[in-house]
Structure 1
Amino acid sequence: MPSGATDPMPCRFSTTRRQVASTTARWRHNSRRRTVLSPTDVRTWARQRLARQRRAWVDGEGTWPLIRGLEPPRAVDIRGGLGAVTAWTSAWAAERELVGVRVMRETRLMKGIGSQTMPVRVEFESPRAVAEFAGEAQAWDRVARRRALLLERWPQLAAGVGLGRLYDWMDQAGDLDVDRLVAVADWVLANPRSGLYLRQLPVAGVDTKWIEGGQRRAIAMLVALLQGDENATGETEKEFLRLCGLLAPVARIRERPGAPP
């Protein structure tokens, strides 16, 4: 290359990007707002669906397989933007195969174009497959493992649903927190009307600071399920104390300095 000459590659690359952007724009225009879903689109959809239904799914609800159509391009889309269609099919072809996730393809005869084989829908065989595709498999497995631990300890919980309400807690809690939750629930079931104050709970490692640090609602909901009260939420301190058979704290009255006795 002569001295001072520039590499023409950046120019060609820039032109290619403009061409792809142009064909994509024409494709979208000709599609009349038709939404052709890319892997990124379906992954976003899977995250949203999991966020809405994870509690019910972990309790065994849901109908499977779960199907998400991809709204594949039509003949008019291909004629109006071949580059964008090619990029779309290539993106799906590059997707890593996951257990329980199937990208279904069909061959369709299109007027003026001929037979075209392309992805048409994604089928998820289980909630775990949705979580895997959404990038949330680690959280799902952790929750499922801890739910199984609670069911092993209290098999009667398997007869109904409700542990899914503890999904976020089971995901975020540490192993020691889970052990303490089980210990507190065991003690409350054995002493349903103890008449003790919260600070007097005789459970190793459990104190007011730990309970009020994010564990109160989880304890209340688990105890409620074990007592057969599926409507209790443990949202308030009053309900928590009622479910656990504990006394409400005595209100302290502060005296003003210099006030008469």
Structure 2
Amino acid sequence: MRDPDLVLDQIRARYHKNWRDWLLHGNEATFSFPLAAPSAQAIARDSDAVGPWMRVWRNWSHAHPAAQLRSATRRTVVGAQEIFTHLDLSTVDELVVLDRDLADHWLRAKSRWARLRTVPGGVAAERIRPYLQQIVDLDNADFEILLDAATWFTQNPRSGLTIRQVPVLGMHTKWLARNRRLVLACLNINQQASANIDQPEEDLEQDDLDPLGLKALPVHVHVILADPADRERVCGLRHVSAPLPEINALPVRPTTVLIVENKESAYLVPDQSGTVVIHSLGNHLNVLDEIGWLDGARHLYWGDLDRAGLTLLSRARTRLPRLVSVLMDPVTLEEHNALAVKDETRADTPDPNLTDIETAALAALSTDYDTHVRLEQERLPSPFVLDRLSRAMKNTGSAIDDRGSGSH
């Protein structure tokens, strides 16, 4: 015999499985939940349990007048007994009213779907279906931005504007990075199944913006001209930050290019003949494909000693196969382990091109109980860093050919 709590669990399960279909395709439905009513023999064996069970359901029914209890007659040795057999409900609205959370969710879902249907051109039910829960979970302000954005992009499919030029109040780069998939679904635009759901904020590139008719801001690349001779050609500038085409056009032909993950660490690099430093690329490693003066130079990489840093190293090496890492080895981690901190960030799996020493460093970042540590490059003592960098930058090209030797 099922009590009301058990049947309510079944109701919640039915709702969570089917609410999208009810919302998109109409909620004309009837529901029946069996109560596992006792048989005549069970009543005869345990009549003391049946009476309280019937009273529980009768009291519950009085508190929920929209729900109907179906009954049947059991013929027992002590006479005919009326027994509740099913809980019947005529509509989805009658079903959800039995649980406050379901009622709130259903009301919010109906209201938002009704408003989505007012977007010019209409929103395709099957296109929006996978994103309905995310849309219901949006706070009111974000939902209003979504509606306004879908309307504006429908009316301006090829604007050629940047994100911040779009006249939708509240929509900015971070908002669009978080909610681009919802906007595309509202516009009935196909999305690639392989697209990264966990796309970093403010990491929208031109391919991401093309379906919306927007243009990305030019990627700025930060370089340090460590060779005084190169600086003479650009009015003495040592630090240059400019759009990628302008960086590519710099009148430099370095023999060594050092790629540094973070700006503060890059500023430590001293003057060195024939050397250019590229820093603060983040995930924009695709720019390495577009800088012509990288060809023919030795390529070094210095990043954080953490899982994300080694992943960025591997992605850079995918573009620059002869790339050699510096200060990203187990010895550096062991010697400065006191400076490491707990790493609770999410990290992607590196490309399969780490050297044996780099792989050992990655393994050393994992501690007991599935926790990880990180040693940020800024924490390393400057004298130690300068010594290792100096040796790496002065090393001969033969060291680069020996990929198995790992970091220098």
Between structure 1 and structure 2, the one with the greater Rg is 2
- In the alignment, which residue of structure 1 is the partner of 2:182? 218
Question: Is 1:87 matched up with 2:103?
Answer: no
Identity of paired residues, percent? 22
Q: How many residues align?
A: 218
Cα distance change of structure 1 residues 251 and 87 upon mapping to structure 2, 3 Å threshold: farther
Cα distance change of structure 1 residues 117 and 232 upon mapping to structure 2, 3 Å threshold: farther
- In the alignment, which residue of structure 2 is the partner of 1:260? 276
Cα shift at 1:248 = 5.5
Q: After alignment, is 146-155 or 133-142 more displaced?
A: 146-155
Q: Distance in 1 between matches of 2:93 and 2:193?
A: 26
Cα deviation, 1:107-147, whole Å, max 9, x if unaligned, reads: x1323132111211122222222222233101211211121
Task: Decide which of 232, 245, 251 is 2:213's aligned counterpart.
Answer: 245
Q: Distance in 1 between matches of 2:138 and 2:39?
A: 48
Q: After alignment, is 137-146 or 56-65 more displaced?
A: 56-65
Q: Distance in 2 between matches of 1:73 and 1:207?
A: 61
Task: Decide which of 108, 113, 122 is 1:142's aligned counterpart.
Answer: 108
Task: Decide which of 42, 57, 79 is 1:114's aligned counterpart.
Answer: 79
TM-score (norm 2): 0.47
Cα distance change of structure 1 residues 127 and 156 upon mapping to structure 2, 3 Å threshold: same
Q: Distance in 2 between matches of 1:207 and 1:234?
A: 24
Task: Decide which of 81, 84, 97 is 2:64's aligned counterpart.
Answer: 97
**Structure (1 or 2) with the greater helix fraction:** 1
Structure 2 spans left out of the alignment, 5+ residues: 200-204, 224-259, 261-265, 270-274, 278-408
Task: Decide which of 136, 139, 155 is 1:190's aligned counterpart.
Answer: 155
| 1:130-209 paired onto structure 2 within 5 Å | 130-135=95-100, 136-154=102-120, 156-157=122-123, 160-209=125-174
- In the alignment, which residue of structure 2 is the partner of 1:54? 19
Q: Which letter does structure 2 place at the counterpart of 1:97?
A: H
RMSD: 3.0
Question: Is 1:71 matched up with 2:36?
Answer: yes
Cα shift at 1:77 = 1.9
Cα shift at 1:252 = 5.7
TM-score (norm 1): 0.70
| Contact 1:59–1:162 (CA under 8 A) maintained in structure 2 | no
Q: Which letter does structure 2 place at the counterpart of 1:241?
A: L
Q: Distance in 2 between matches of 1:49 and 1:61?
A: 16
Cα deviation, 1:27-78, whole Å, max 9, x if unaligned, reads: xxxxxxxxx2211111001111111111111112576212221121012222
- In the alignment, which residue of structure 2 is the partner of 1:11? none
Q: After alignment, is 36-45 or 119-128 more displaced?
A: 119-128
Q: After alignment, is 170-179 or 185-194 more displaced?
A: 170-179
Cα deviation, 1:166-186, whole Å, max 9, x if unaligned, reads: 432343223322221111111
Q: Which letter does structure 1 place at the counterpart of 2:212?
A: C
| Contact 1:217–1:240 (CA under 8 A) maintained in structure 2 | no
1:152 is paired with a residue whose SS is coil
Q: Distance in 2 between matches of 1:81 and 1:131?
A: 34
Higher RCO by CA contacts (8 Å cutoff, separation 6 or greater):
1
| Contact 2:148–2:168 (CA under 8 A) maintained in structure 1 | yes
- In the alignment, which residue of structure 1 is the partner of 2:2? 37
Cα shift at 1:152 = 3.5
2:64 is paired with a residue whose SS is coil
Cα shift at 1:191 = 2.0
